[in-house]
Amino acid sequence: MSDTLAPAAPARTRSPWRSRLSRWDLKGSPYAFISPFFILFAIFGAFPLLYTFWVSLHAWPLLGEHTFTGLDNYQKLLSDEQFWNAAKNTFGIFVVSTVPQYALALWLAVTLNRKIRARTLFRIGVVIPNVTSVAAVTLIFGMIFAKGFGLANWMLSWFGVASIDWTAHTWSSWLAISMMVDWRWTGYNALIFLAAMQAIPSDLYEAAAIDGASRTRQFWSVTLPLLRPTILFTTITSIIGGVQLFTEPLLFAPGAGAIQGGTLRQFQTLTMYLIENGFTRFEFGYAGAVAWMIFLLVLVISLINILIVRRISGAD
């Protein structure tokens, strides 16, 4: 057996282009993977947003020249009583619908989180209203709240309440539209709360039970604080959805002038006012200013909501 060793093979050197390709793969691949979302967002989200802002800086009729007017549309909008009336209706309906909706959704989630029979069937059942056509739901609720033969007035007559014209008053139209919104979204929010509840460690409930905490005490001291991020998420999505409320008030009183939300605009929302200016009056520049004001209102309210939740979390 020979003691001599075979000569070592020369080290293979990578070509410069393969090294550059490897570095690009390491650094550029993550950006390439997430780029489809941002490309689509730029085309279908950012560009329409910026173009709408450009349109809002002009007097932009359907026919004729487009004249640059700067911030005149926004200045006019700030003193527009119809715009602020639509804003009042939008946020009024949002508050009237959201408060009972969240209370009922939390109650449903707590109930469905317990060991009850056929709970999977009940969990599926609560989202059925959400997959139902919004137009069909609105038409059915329109019949329920009809003045002459509606189910709501018939039930109120048991208690001696006179027949109510639900579309004629602000409070009654807000209440009727809020019930349509609650019918569709309570089950959806209940399922989100339920998913968050199931992520809470059972050790916390066991420790609370050992300390003698009742179910009610466990809900207020364990469940609700740990649901805070989920409540923040659903609140922001509810604000965005509430500001975009359109179909329910539009079909609540269908017919000529439905886009005005009643004879006195008692339930016209911001989105309806936007559509009225854009596609009834054909003032696209002014409609663009309304769209941007809606965007800014959602942004400001969402930031305020985040700050309030963080302040509450910090206080804890």
DSSP-assigned states of every residue in 204-223: HHHHHHHTT--HHHHIIIII
The chain-wide mean pLDDT, for the chain, equals 86
**Does position 7 have pLDDT exceeding 70, yes or no?**
no
Greatest Cα pair distance, the chain, in angstroms, is 115
% of the chain at pLDDT higher than 70 = 94
Inform me whether the pLDDT recorded for 42 exceeds 50: yes
Q: What is the pLDDT of residue 25?
A: 80
In this model, does residue 169 exceed pLDDT 80?
Answer: yes
User: Is the distance from CB of 302 to CB of 248 less than 8 angstroms?
Assistant: no
**pLDDT digit string (tens) for 217-274?**
888 888 888 888 888 888 888 888 888 888 889 988 877 778 888 888 899 999 999 9
Q: Residues in the chain, how many?
A: 316
